[in-house]
Amino acid sequence: MNGVSEGLIIGTTVGVVIGVLLAVGILLCMRYRRSQAQIRSSSSRRSSTIPIRANGVNTCAELSTSTTGQESPREFEDRGPSLWIEGPGRKSLISASGIPKYAYKELQKATSNFTKLLGQGAFGPVYKADMSSGEILAVKVLANNSKQGEKEFQNEVLLLGRLHHRNLVNLVGYCAEKGQHILLYAYMPNGSLASHLYGENSAPLRWDLRVNIALDVARGLEYLHDGAVPPVVHRDIKSPNILLDQSMHARVADFGLSREEMLTRNGANIRGTYGYLDPEYVSSRSFTKKSDVYSYGVLLFELIAGRNPQQGLMEYVELAAINADGKTGWEEIADSRLEGAFDVEELNDMAAAAYKCVSRVSRKRPSMRDVVQALIRVAKHSHSSRNHHGRRLPPGRTDDESVDLEASEDQSSASGHQRQESVGSVSELPDV
Ligand SMILES: Nc1ncnc2c1ncn2[C@@H]1O[C@H](COP(=O)(O)OP(=O)(O)OP(=O)(O)O)[C@@H](O)[C@H]1O
């Protein structure tokens, strides 16, 4: 009898424990579901505050899983539907496709009432902002008088919220208050490539840094052309739009913003910057990825020659091309500030790639994917000769690039591209 009552007690206790555990489990499950639903509705409320306007090539609906996008939103999304970020005095919910909205007052304080001017661009002034969280941002206030301000704002907020790459100046927030349209970007402490190439107070850029910058920009553009779906055409690649971060990595800025149209002498409207404009675009008015490739070729020649188009860069290039057969002999246009400290083979390979990019016939220009592969080989050569002659890594730049270069090579061979190992492999680019 004793045995029976003991069994009854044990059975009842086990039953009660299981019941309690089940009840707690169900409760936790319900709370979790409710919090997920709240997050979802809150994030969709936030997304709906972002003005959306699908508008041709400069709009991006979704990103592909392209291997070129090291920081692709797909990766971001895979970590969960949304992330919370917290800073002193504010709490923002970031949805996978959205970006945080900042209060005008907060920006007013961080920019000392919009007095810390970094510079003035075609879209309006850019200020440095010291946020209370300790973050430093660049705040671009879109000019009120800009006819296209609203459209550009809508384009960029929507587009940049979805584009993430380490070679792009990523949008980190926006503000739409008091009739103002403001874009917030990561602050690039080393300024623009133009300021390094042409600034009187800047030390000359070393050759190995120029090679790295060329590859960084090519990767940023490759991501825009081949990683974004639908593809994004930049339309204004030039040295002032290439910014350098704290490690001297280059990042492409100002994409998604459509510049005010310029009037040509014959009265027709074109967009972009003189000297970088694809001649085919000027005659056909049709801007394509290959028009970006042309502007990128001009930028490569800027890196080589230390001159900009306003200083007669392309005339200089055409003169040199007469002697250079397109592949060798480019050293005669090398920037005098380099004082001969460059590898002739690397310079010729970079110039040969640049020359193909600036072909007058767009279909003869390489894709950015091909340019990246050619520049990887130049950069690899540059890295290995630096290692051979003792390490001379730029300040802040680590040797992890060599790992990156390997990874990208693997990707190209995985996708069936057969590449030869010599530096002279730019010959694989289409002939001009
Ligand atoms: N994220 C940033 N970090 C640091 N400085 C920046 C940043 N964005 C812009 N700047 C600086 O602010 C100034 C204005 O930049 P903006 O991009 O508006 O115009 P721009 O590229 O000089 O000219 P344009 O608008 O004609 O292309 C430039 O000196 C630029 O280097």
- For 56-77, write each residue's pLDDT tens digit: 222 222 222 233 333 322 222 2
Lowest mean pLDDT among 7-21, 83-97, 227-241, 399-413: 83-97
How far, in Å, from the CA of 298 to the mean position of ligand 1? 19
pLDDT at 359 over 90: yes
User: 138 forms bridges with which residues in the sheet?
Assistant: 128, 185
- Could you report the per-residue pLDDT of 155-188, keeping only the tens digit for each? 668 767 788 899 999 889 999 888 788 999 999 9
**286, amino acid identity:** S
Q: How confident is the model at residue 341 (pLDDT cuts 50, 70, 90)?
A: very high
E-strand ranges in 142-270 read: 171-177, 180-186, 228-229, 242-244, 250-252, 262-263, 269-270
How far, in Å, from the CA of 395 to the mean position of ligand 1? 23
User: 252 forms bridges with which residues in the sheet?
Assistant: 168, 242
Residue 355 Cβ inside 6 Å of ligand 1? The answer reads no
Supply the angle between the helices 344-357 and 207-222 in degrees, to the nearest 10. 30
Higher pLDDT, 201 or 397: 201
Tell me: ipTM over 0.90.
yes
- Whether residue 230 has a cis bond before it, omega within 30° of 0: yes
Residue 152 Cβ inside 6 Å of ligand 1? The answer reads no
How far, in Å, from the CA of 255 to the mean position of ligand 1? 12
pLDDT at 241: 96
Residue 126 Cβ inside 6 Å of ligand 1? The answer reads yes
How far, in Å, from the CA of 97 to the mean position of ligand 1? 25
Task: Read off the pTM.
Answer: 0.72
pLDDT at 145 over 60: no
Residue 254 Cβ inside 6 Å of ligand 1? The answer reads yes
Which residue's structure tokens are 């040969």?
352
Query: What is the mean pLDDT of the segment spanning 7-31?
Result: 67
For residue 22, give the 3-state DSSP assignment.
Answer: helix
- Whether residue 204 has a cis bond before it, omega within 30° of 0: no
Query: How far apart (Å, rounded) are the C-alpha atoms in residues 269 and 387?
Result: 50
Atom number of ligand 1 nearest to Cα 240: 21
- Could you report the per-residue pLDDT of 280-298, keeping only the tens digit for each? 988 888 889 999 999 999 9
- Residues with a catalytic annotation lie at 236
Contact predicate 48/205, CB 8 Å: no
Contact predicate 394/208, CB 8 Å: yes
Mean pLDDT of the chain: 74
pLDDT at 412 over 50: no
For residue 259, give the 3-state DSSP assignment.
Answer: coil
pLDDT at 67: 30
Query: Nearest residue CA, atom 22 of ligand 1?
Result: 121
pLDDT at 261: 53
Residue 253 Cβ inside 6 Å of ligand 1? The answer reads yes
pLDDT at 178: 81
For residue 378, give the 3-state DSSP assignment.
Answer: helix
pLDDT at 56: 26
Q: How confident is the model at residue 3 (pLDDT cuts 50, 70, 90)?
A: low
Atom number of ligand 1 nearest to Cα 118: 12
Residue 243 Cβ inside 6 Å of ligand 1? The answer reads yes
Q: What is the best residue among 116, 118, 153, 195 to mutate for testing ligand 1's pocket, by most ligand atoms within 8 Å of CB?
A: 118
Residue 169 Cβ inside 6 Å of ligand 1? The answer reads yes
